[in-house]
Amino acid sequence: MEKGVWLEFERIDDTFAKYGLWQAPLKFKTQKVPFKAILKEIRGKPKVISIVGRGYRLLPNSLVHEAIVQLSEMFGLRMMKQSRYQLIYGGRTVYHTDEKSYRAYWTMVFPKRYKIGREKIQLGVQVRNSEDASMGFGVDLFTYRLVCKNGAVVRTGDLEIKAYWRHTKGLKLDLNALKNTIAQIVDRGKTILDNYRALTALKLNQEIAERLAEKLPKKYLPEYIQAKEEKVELLKPVDLWTCYNDLTRADGGELHINITPCNFYL
């Protein structure tokens, strides 16, 4: 085997050193290669957490957190502390990470409460980011049902109410741009509230019950929809808002299924 140094760092970029992160372009046998290493200080020592392309744009979680604190003040956002399976409503400015702390999530709700039927709903946003290229920087909308003691969250992926940026050239943390993005997402999110209100005026009928029984595993069906072999029996009439909530109910804090009001009965 040929002796000598095969892989080495070029000059280390310490732009984000105060966040415990460094970037180091790589050389292979003294020749430049189109890759660089991302290093993170872990237990007082730098560790390579990812090898990425030279065009990768690092965005430290701590830097995102600084922006989130400012956005929280602008919008009156309240942070939600997340345990393994459920969101627990709380007032502290916190964010949670994955096991290795390379990914981070900020889950927040707006103060305004909307009345849907007999329940109250809040809109919320989740900002996410990673330092090891395992996830892009993004913002998602969700709705929070205050009636759920365990804080069940129903996401709105079918409406594409989200924003996402890859860690590539052009990515930068612009506070005003992020503020405008969140405002636009929330404005579009009011569509989901209109859908919720529409569900309160519609009744679950035999046809819809049969479609739900065909689409979903039996264990997720509410007790008033009985599916036995080829026969589906509707035991009591309820509005579709009630049915929707029963289908997305949480059991021990873990959502059974993830469906949305736009298409769950179509």
pLDDT in tens, 146-186: 655 434 444 444 444 556 667 777 667 777 888 888 888 78
Write out the two tokens for 157: 């992926």
Residues of the chain scoring pLDDT < 50: 1, 84-93, 149-160, 250-258
148 and 250 in contact (C-beta within 8 Å)?
yes
Q: Give residue 252's pLDDT.
A: 38
Q: Give residue 47's pLDDT.
A: 92
What Cα–Cα distance (Å) separates residue 234 from each residue in 214, 222, 262? Answer: 14, 10, 22
Q: Give residue 50's pLDDT.
A: 93
How far apart (Å, rounded) are the C-alpha atoms in residues 56 and 76?
33
How far apart (Å, rounded) are the C-alpha atoms in residues 225 and 218?
9
Residue 61, Cβ density class (10 Å: 0-12 exposed, 13-18 middle, ≥19 buried):
buried
Q: Give residue 178's pLDDT.
A: 82
Write out the two tokens for 147: 């009636």
Amino acid at 203: K
Q: Give residue 154's pLDDT.
A: 45
DSSP letter for 260, please. Answer: -
What Cα–Cα distance (Å) separates residue 202 from each residue in 106, 114, 143, 237? Answer: 35, 19, 20, 11
Q: Give residue 103's pLDDT.
A: 85
Whether the predicted model's global pTM rises above the 0.85 cut: no
Q: Give residue 262's pLDDT.
A: 55
Amino acid at 186: V
Q: Give residue 251's pLDDT.
A: 44
Q: What 3-state class would DSSP assign to 187?
A: helix
Q: Give residue 93's pLDDT.
A: 43
Count of residues for the chain? 266
Q: Tokens 């404005």 map to which residue?
A: 187
Q: How many CB atoms lie within 10 A of CB 209?
A: 22
